[in-house]
Amino acid sequence: MEVKWNREARSDFQSLDTLVQAATREEARCLKAYPDVSGVKHLTGRWVGMARVKVLADWRMIFRPLSDHLVIVRIRHRSIVYK
């Protein structure tokens, strides 16, 4: 599956330190095998239709799975990503 990044996710990525960037790249690469990816949690409430995967222990990558591709929406610390 093709993985695309929206503008906010690209901006988030640029602001991360190099260790988190490397882990994010690896998770994005793994998402190409979606839906056969472990650790994906589908979100509810105002985030319905989106899913998340952990990047390291405290970072989250939020993405929207679509029929032929998925779009990475945000990459933020877990304390602020859902606000």
Q: Give the model's pLDDT for residue 16.
A: 97
Give backbone dihedrals phi and psi of 50, rounded to 5 degrees, phi first. -115, 165
- Predicted TM-score (pTM) of the model is 0.93
Task: Give the pLDDT of residue 51.
Answer: 98
> What dotted CATH number matches 2-77?
3.30.2310.20
pLDDT tens, position by position, 43-61: 999 999 999 999 999 999 9
Q: What does the pLDDT look like over 19-30, one tens digit per residue?
A: 999 999 999 999
Number of residues written out for the chain: 83
Supply the pLDDT for residue 30.
96
With bands split at pLDDT 50, 70 and 90, how would you rate the model's confidence at 72?
very high
- CA dist 13 and 78 (Å) reads 15
